[in-house]
Amino acid sequence: MRVDVGTGLLDEARYVPSPNCDERPDAEISVLVIHGISLPPGEFGGPFIEELFTNCLQPDAHPYFAEICSLQVSSHVLIRRDGEVVQFVPFHMRAWHAGESHYAGRSRCNDFSIGIELEGADDIEYAPVQYERLEQVARALIEAYPLLHAERIVGHCDISPGRKTDPGPTFDWAALRSRLSVA
């Protein structure tokens, strides 16, 4: 898997453009943020994550959707339970994934981070294939963006403590770090 730095796209991802992005300020990409998402909460599969990130989520499709259908959010990448990689925002653009956030004394993490959503929930283990694909995506990003490295991979919970809990306690950080430390 590789990143085309000219287009900001992964060569092995299905591209579904999100309107919820904009130009980055003069800030180099230096952090990778791991998220967890399921729509409806605790349910997997279906079109709803893509619909949310492309502003097409219908409020009457599920009772929870009425609360969130007007949000304008996105992520750079989604890794589904079956390992499919979907890209919504080119990496050189700012995706709207982190919200109010801080990392290493800097605020506005969207400015300098890449957001990766894993289809999952805080209290449900992620699928082994998701870790495999996450490793592949992370390696491609580390190769493409010189300020990224394994120590700069954090959870949404780390940059927005008290506000966010994902990817949750079931996410196996040790396994990810071990995978990335092996060449």
What angle do the packed helices 173-181 and 128-144 form, to 10 degrees?
50
Secondary structure class of 21 (helix, strand, coil): strand
Going through the chain in order, the beta strands assigned E by DSSP cover 3-4, 9-10, 14-15, 21-23, 31-37, 77-79, 85-87, 93-95, 102-103, 106-107, 113-119, 153-155
Count of beta carbons in the 10 Å neighbourhood of residue 45: 12
Active site amino acids: 117
The SS3 assignment for 103 reads: strand
CA 161 to CA 133: how far, in whole Å? 26
Alpha-carbon distance of 69 to 10, in angstroms, equals: 28
